[in-house]
Amino acid sequence: MSGTSSPPGADVPGVQADSEPRWPTEWLRGVLELCVLGILTEGPAHGYALAVRLEGAGLGAVKGGTLYPLLTRLETDGLVTSSWQAGTGGPGRKVFVLTETGSTEALRRTARWAQFTERTRRLLPVPDADPADLCLPSFLEQR
């Protein structure tokens, strides 16, 4: 943490400026892909639903310019597949589904992330804040 150049609350590209809490770019860069994989373990979702879910989890409003290239990368890596579904009263939506490899990878990365955060936490002073405010992604807390 001492090496972090921008404190929580700094402007983060791809995340709305008025959303709270705002996280440093490098933190989000590390965890966003894992969070998307985590949400997709719950079932298929389209891009906007993923963005809403991420914001609801307290990660801030993730812009389309950040989210869709990430999904494309996951698809390129064979972790998700996508298909267009007709919209009701609107344009169609591209729905993303986790592949078998993606499910395995989500669990593997989740375990690694848990290990990583646990080790990181050992190095850090205990914050005065309520642990509930640590804002770990909900799917990590469930596991």
Contact residues for another protein, defined by CB under 8 A = 46-48, 51, 63-65, 68-70, 72-73, 76, 84, 86-87, 90-94
State in angstroms the smallest separation of the CB of 109 from another protein.
Answer: 18
| Shortest Å distance, C-beta 72 to another protein | 4
Among residues 86 and 132, whose Cβ is nearest to another protein?
86
DSSP secondary structure letter of residue 15: B
Specify the residue, 57 or 74, whose C-beta has the smaller distance to another protein.
74
End-to-end CA distance of the chain: 25
Length of the chain in terms of residues written? 143
* Helices within 1-137 (DSSP H only): 25-40, 47-56, 64-76, 100-123
* Minimum distance of another protein from residue 76's CB (angstroms): 5
Instruction: Give residues with Cβ within 8 angstroms of 19, minimum separation 6.
Output: 55, 60, 61
Nearer to another protein, 63 or 109 (CB): 63
| C-beta of residue 134 within 8 angstroms of C-beta of residue 126 | no
Instruction: Name which of 68 and 136 has its Cβ closer to another protein.
Output: 68
84 contacts: CB under 8 Å, gap ≥ 6: 92, 93, 94, 95
Q: Which is nearer to another protein, 89 or 131 (CB)?
A: 89
- Provide, rounded to whole angstroms, the least separation between the CB of residue 95 and another protein: 11
Side-chain half-sphere exposure of 19, counting CA atoms within 13 A: 21
Considering the complex, what minimum distance in angstroms separates the CB of residue 119 from another protein? Answer: 30
